[in-house]
Amino acid sequence: MNQINKNMLNAIDQVIFDKKARFKNDVYEAIGTTRQRVNDIKYNGTNFTIENIDLFCKTYDVQPNYIFGISNEIYSVQNSVQITQ
């Protein structure tokens, strides 16, 4: 699995943890995907689409720079949660 997909999955988990969404299925619906598609991403080498990433970032105020590995901060500065690895 590529780093962009890993970052998306981590960000989805963080959105749930921060109670910006109640369930993963709510996130999947909001970004135009399904649980089956996410399982394909996890296990079969498919990828999130640019549309999925764009909707996710806009809906949950996530920085695209985090998704693409440029920044460690998931949210905008005022709502920042830094992920260290």
Percent of the chain predicted with pLDDT > 90 = 81
pTM: 0.85
The full set of domains in the chain, from first to last, is 3-79 (1.10.260.40)
pLDDT digit string, tens, across residues 59-81: 999 999 999 999 998 987 665 55
CB 40 within 8 A of CB 80: no
pLDDT at 47 over 70: yes
pLDDT of residue 76: 75
CB 66 within 8 A of CB 8: no
